[in-house]
């Protein structure tokens, strides 16, 4: 049995192409899935989404951005980095995406649907269908195909060749070694992944006075813990599900 985990916080950036309403419309396609799922989201958005959810297999958890552990370090983070989209890549946004593994940790530790030690968890970005542009039926079919997979490691979507290091400043430029939109696996290794990611984020802030995209952090974690991961290659499209 697998539990889907996702999260959304409104007003963490100023994207012109994706306001809260568009995020919610894309997120509803996940909310409507008739499979166990844990959704971390602003409390005021829960009533609208609950109308579209099967109550027996959907657990909403209210969150605020200030709950993210990284905010205790915010005064140590420089507010400048190279990005093609400064309206999107705010510190609030960086903190949220780097917290994906912490939301996964909570879902794993509390195990709302009682799947036990042999169960699987799979992260899916709340607004991911903005990229895929699939119909409800197509999206559900792709998720269910991935949903049935079982891994005793961290199954994670990769784009760039993990065996070939590209010459970029990973502390300042987005690195698409990993796709970011989905990862999953067993409880034990997902908790280790969460521990390693948290440790790496804090280390980067203390040593570099920076925070980056979660995929950059994950690549640094991967380089030090390759046995933890079982990567698969894909692109920023539905292959994130079909190749899972």
Distance, CA of 9 to CA of 154 (rounded, Å): 25
2-242 to CATH, choices 2.30.30, 3.90.550, 3.30.2320, 3.30.1300: 3.90.550
Instruction: Kindly report, residue by residue over 135-145, the tens digit of the pLDDT.
Output: 989 999 999 88
Which residue has tokens 């027996």? 56
Which among 181, 190, 199, 170 is positioned nearest to 230, based on CA atoms? Answer: 190
Reported as half-sphere exposure (CB side, CA atoms, 13 A), residue 62 has a value of: 5
- pTM comes to 0.94
Instruction: Kindly report, residue by residue over 56-66, the tens digit of the pLDDT.
Output: 999 999 999 99
Summarize the confidence of residues 160-179 as an average pLDDT. Answer: 94
- Give pLDDT, residue 22: 86
Yes or no: say if 231 and 156 are a contact pair by the CB < 8 Å rule. Answer: yes
Question: Mean pLDDT score of the chain, rounded to an integer?
Answer: 92
Distance, CA of 220 to CA of 229 (rounded, Å): 12
Which among 205, 171, 16, 177 is positioned nearest to 81, based on CA atoms? Answer: 171
Domain limits of the chain?
Answer: 2-242
For the chain, what's the residue count? 244
Instruction: Kindly report, residue by residue over 65-91, the tens digit of the pLDDT.
Output: 999 999 999 999 986 665 666 667 889
Summarize the confidence of residues 220-239 as an average pLDDT. Answer: 97
pLDDT band at 20, cuts 50/70/90? confident
Cβ neighbours of residue 185 under 8 Å, at least 6 residues apart? 120, 121, 151, 152, 153, 154, 155, 230
Tokens of 94: 């960086």
């Amino acid at each position: 049995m697998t539990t889907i985990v996702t999260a959304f916080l409104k007003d963490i950036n100023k994207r012109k192409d994706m306001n809260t309403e568009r995020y919610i419309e894309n997120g509803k396609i996940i909310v409507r899935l008739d499979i166990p799922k844990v959704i971390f989201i602003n409390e005021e958005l829960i009533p609208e989404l609950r109308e579209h959810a099967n109550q027996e297999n959907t657990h909403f958890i209210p969150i605020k951005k200030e709950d993210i552990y990284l905010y205790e370090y915010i005064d140590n983070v420089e507010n400048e980095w190279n990005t093609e989209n400064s309206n999107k890549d705010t510190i609030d946004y960086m903190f949220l995406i780097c917290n994906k593994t912490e939301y996964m940790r909570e879902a794993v530790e509390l195990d709302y649907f009682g799947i036990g030690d042999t169960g699987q968890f799979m992260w899916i970005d709340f607004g991911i269908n903005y990229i895929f542009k699939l119909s409800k039926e197509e999206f559900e079919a792709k998720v269910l195909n991935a949903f049935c997979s079982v891994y005793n490691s961290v199954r994670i979507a990769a784009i760039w060749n993990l065996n070939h290091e590209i010459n970029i400043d990973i502390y300042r430029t987005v690195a698409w070694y990993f796709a970011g939109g989905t990862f999953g696996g067993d409880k034990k290794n997902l908790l280790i992944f969460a521990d390693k990611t948290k440790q790496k984020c804090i280390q980067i802030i203390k040593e570099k006075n920076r925070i980056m995209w979660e995929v950059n952090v994950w690549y640094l974690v991967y380089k030090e813990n390759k046995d933890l991961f079982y990567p698969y290659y894909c692109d920023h499209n539905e292959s994130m599900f079909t190749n899972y």
